Structure 1
């Protein structure tokens, strides 16, 4: 589906029809993926903005392994076009020989973060075993998928989980977030609520919470919903996922960070 925050409604149905081409796997010989010159990128961007006023500026463009197909980067997304900018495709480009999803790999590269720069002091932390594998998660206390993910985490070994609470689902989420953070044992309060539904009690007095900082951080990292996971190698997973998928990503990230 086309994202409404990228295109206007009239463009949505038009581009959706073109998406079929983006789903067709490439069966041509591999070729180098080269960045296009700045002048060519600017020309493409101008042409697209003239023809499609709601289309955002093109930040960069490069060739793809499929002859004649150009990848253009728009924010944290990629689209495909021809050299003249006469057509736009949104979809998945897949190499049939290796069964590698080239679009997915590119988005992973574009959206990487520097895990070491995360303000972990603003996160609730718990670990199992030696805690050698690390993951950061953005969660809302009233998010059902976040609760499901928290249950998956409990089955894992040798992991450290940093949870940045972002109260995005209404005033009650902020109340719970602040109450949990201000508890003497905030980690236990978080787990009690997420796993057992034990409502956090508002502690006596007040304490400073990182809620606003966490919200600002989530915006900078373009977190659009909860849960959102970031692995130690900087890659992200913007949705709840089965345990085996998370385990694979944790292992891969741990190997890459050694």
Structure 2
């Protein structure tokens, strides 16, 4: 028997919360399975751009998983109908900005007087291109680009470099200590509550594998060094 349209609508509205609850429960169970199996934190689990495939934002980047949790994919997804738009990178942009906020008071900031843009740079004091970027700090600042540093010791944590970077963050004058370290000078060893390990783990969750890595104002990430003018152009395109 065919039901009247109004009755069909009422039934649909009545069962909608039940369907949503079931989906939420399924996602929660799948998140627990992924966490247990992979040993990583699952920040969110949502529909991916590919129908029938879920997108998991994790502490180690984005994964794609089948709804039953039986199949897992790791890689970059592109939209061929939208100029090879990097969908994986776009999906990470907003979570990156949200994750950066709690670290703002830990950042070592080189502020531009006439600030137009803000870039967060994951840096390592032993990295050649990190030193090159730092040597041009005045040029970035003169273009209105504020540079905010977070520590990403490439040798991991714990390590000698991680300890040296903690000494920079804990120095009486962290900027001078960073200037010295980036120019090859030694920095006096000291400790404090600066959490270099947490900064490093944040970089890992962003998918960083090398330094410098730049997080722009819209949350997109540029791996590697960019000269001041090129970085300014990249920033101007997103505003």
Displacement of 1:218 in angstroms is 0.6
* Equivalent in the alignment of 1:215: 196
Q: Matched residue of 1:137: which SS?
A: strand
* Equivalent in the alignment of 2:212: 227
1:212-240 C-alpha deviation (Å, 9 max, x unpaired) = 4141541563456643444445x263742
1:7-48 C-alpha deviation (Å, 9 max, x unpaired) = xxxxxxxxxxxxxxxxxxxxxxxxxxx998222224545776
Structure 1's unaligned 5+ residue stretches are 1-33
CA–CA distance in structure 2, aligned partners of residues 125 and 227 of structure 1:
15
CA–CA distance in structure 1, aligned partners of residues 124 and 35 of structure 2:
37
Does the 8 A contact of 2:43 with 2:57 survive in 1? Answer: yes
Q: Matched residue of 2:97: which SS?
A: coil
1:89 aligns with 2:89: no
Does the 8 A contact of 1:127 with 1:159 survive in 2? Answer: yes
1:131 aligns with 2:120: no
Q: Which structure shows the bigger proportion of residues in helix conformation?
A: 2
Alignment of 1:133-148 (within 5 A): 133-148=117-132
Q: Which shows bigger deviation, 165-174 or 153-162?
A: 165-174
1:111 aligns with 2:96: yes
Q: Matched residue of 2:175: which SS?
A: helix
Q: Matched residue of 1:113: which SS?
A: helix
* Equivalent in the alignment of 1:39: 25
Q: Matched residue of 1:190: which SS?
A: helix
Picking from 152, 173, 190, the partner of 2:178 is: 190
Residues 236 and 220 (structure 1), Cα distance of their counterparts in 2 relative to 1, 3 Å cut: farther
* Equivalent in the alignment of 1:178: 167
TM-score of the pair, normalised by structure 1: 0.58
CA–CA distance in structure 1, aligned partners of residues 215 and 179 of structure 2:
20
Does the 8 A contact of 2:129 with 2:225 survive in 1? Answer: no
RMSD of the TM alignment (CA)?
4.3
Displacement of 1:158 in angstroms is 1.2
Residues 148 and 91 (structure 1), Cα distance of their counterparts in 2 relative to 1, 3 Å cut: same
* Equivalent in the alignment of 1:70: 54
Q: Which shows bigger deviation, 167-176 or 82-91?
A: 167-176
Displacement of 1:187 in angstroms is 3.4
TM-score of the pair, normalised by structure 2: 0.61
Does the 8 A contact of 1:126 with 1:162 survive in 2? Answer: yes
Residues 181 and 252 (structure 1), Cα distance of their counterparts in 2 relative to 1, 3 Å cut: farther
Residues 79 and 150 (structure 1), Cα distance of their counterparts in 2 relative to 1, 3 Å cut: same
1:242 aligns with 2:230: no
CA–CA distance in structure 1, aligned partners of residues 97 and 114 of structure 2:
26
* Equivalent in the alignment of 1:251: 236
CA–CA distance in structure 2, aligned partners of residues 137 and 168 of structure 1:
14
Give the number of the structure whose alpha-carbon radius of gyration is greater. 2
Does the 8 A contact of 2:169 with 2:194 survive in 1? Answer: no
CA–CA distance in structure 1, aligned partners of residues 197 and 114 of structure 2:
31
